[in-house]
Structure 1
Amino acid sequence: MEGEKYLFVVAGPSGVGKDSVMAKVRAAHPEIEKTVSITTRAPREGEAEGVNYYYRTEAEFQQLLDQGEILESNCFNDHHYGTLKLEVDRRIAAGKTVLLNIDVHGAANIKRLYPGSTIIFLLPPSWEELEQRLRGRGTDSDADVRNRLAIAREELQRAGEFDAWIVNRDLDQAAAELYETIARRVGQPE
């Protein structure tokens, strides 16, 4: 489908800076849209339905998954998260550029469902830097950090399956490279 060229997925290990890089690109280029994900976790203070997430029960989430309405999903801390097909399809049908932040396995599924999309792997400058970033957050226990690092090791082995790679040594540079990748693909001036 022609509109698939407007769909971009950024994936990479936890702690690599996906959210920061994507936020920087979207702040400079608000025409690039992101979808709102669905989750089974409860809203946190200050979060709103349809803005931060679509909040659903486990049963509702499973029903949408069974109906093929969720393109990819994962489970983290006993809560499910996913990307709604309607969120993606509506935007690409309108010719909007869409930027998704999805885990490595989900990115492969998006590429399978939308072969014209571009999947981009965000890499850390080094293993040591990735570990330092994860520990520096101060939000995870040592066991959680070790688990994230074990998952990261597996994810990094899949980087070769992606269409493009960006090393996040510097936030501004990584954001610029991401935007350049998008602009080249959709034919916009850089």
Structure 2
Amino acid sequence: MPVTYSVHTAESATAVFPALVRLYAVVYAEPPYAEGPEQVAGFANGLPDETRRDGFTLVVAEDGEVLVGAAYGWRLPAGRWWTRADTEPSNDLRAADKFAVMEWIVHPDRRGAGIGAELIRRLLDGRPERWATLASNPAAPARAVYQRAGWQQVGGSAMPDGTPMHLLVLPLPVAPVRRR
């Protein structure tokens, strides 16, 4: 059965949350994350608040009824940047609207099949923001994937537990102006 993709807004995303939490638990149990039940519960408890963020969008990949990948984020408006950043972004970057990718995960058994690339393509396609941004653990294999996909490091930060993170950006195509 082929993988199918669907896009969810805040209103429809809650139906996907149980499967998303299960996928998160599998992905983040791996090194270097080694997250356990407490972190998974924190993720699950935070999801309703995340859907209330401006521009929240979730894209999921399913094989039949099994969630095999997901990516979501929201708008980070002009003037805003990552709260724990260790450096200021360029004036151009700070002054622009950005789309913050908060999660971009694929089940370990399904990696290497293009699911992650299709998830991010669908998540970012047609976005009105000038940039996408995400935070990545430099010790994670995903960090090299982001670099190969064109994401550029513009700074660093640390998680509340002290885990270092790289702050990455990707320029987004300018959406064409529609004439009426």
TM-score, normalized by length of structure 1?
0.31
RCO higher in structure (CA 8 A, sep ≥6): 1
Bigger fraction of residues in strand: 2
Bigger fraction of residues in helix: 1
